[in-house]
Amino acid sequence: MARNTIGFHLVKGNYGMWLPGDSRGSWSEAWDDQIGFTQPHNLNPGDPVRERMAFERMTHPTVFLDDEMSLAVANALGDCVKKGLEIAACAIDSTHTHLVLPYSPRDIDITAKWIADQTTKRVHRDCAHQGPLWAKGKWCGFIFDDAQWNATVGYVERHNLRRGLTARPFDWLT
């Protein structure tokens, strides 16, 4: 029996976070120019040598969102909602952002790229930061039932509570 997707848990990491080779494991399409693509879209184990190599290839400093940048990301997400995106839960941390999106017939990969583009443009417009904002790629979990939906929303809302915010700190959440 096929399961129907009812939503997505989208996580976008900041530039320089969770590099290939990270001890927690990492999703990566390429290790370096010599090796090329290896097992695209597979989880690779931690490897301190690969992590160091990835860090050395970075052309900009690691990005940590400060309050001004977090506000710009939140404002950009609010603009995305005005353009038709539905966001059920959101947590903007200094190192990554969580979004819970109800199912939409739009392609989730294109949607994630659009969100990243919109938030980056807003940060560049409103803040001094002009380099990359997000790491390449994203993590996207598919949500198939109400129990999983509720658990995911609760997980994201707890991120906000740990930061001293309300569970739903944004008025544009649907």
- Cα(92)–Cα(19) distance, integer angstroms: 19
Cβ-contact 104, 143 below 8 angstroms:
no
Question: Which whole number is the average pLDDT over 107-123?
Answer: 97
150 vs 57: which has the higher pLDDT: 150
Q: What is the pTM of this model?
A: 0.84
Q: What local confidence, expressed as pLDDT, does residue 124 receive?
A: 98
Burial class of residue 39 (count of CB atoms within 10 Å of its CB; 0-12, 13-18, 19+): exposed
- Cα(114)–Cα(108) distance, integer angstroms: 10
Cβ-contact 135, 59 below 8 angstroms:
no
Return the half-sphere exposure (C-beta side, CA atoms, 13 A cut-off) of residue 164.
0
What SS3 state is found at 73?
helix
pLDDT tens across 97-107, in order?
999 999 999 99
pLDDT tens across 52-107, in order?
887 788 788 889 999 999 999 999 999 999 999 999 999 999 999 999 999 999 99
Range 7-15+63-162 has CATH code 3.90.550.10: no
- What percentage of the chain carries pLDDT values higher than 90? 66
Domain ranges for the chain: 7-15+63-162, 26-57
pLDDT tens across 8-18, in order?
999 999 887 77
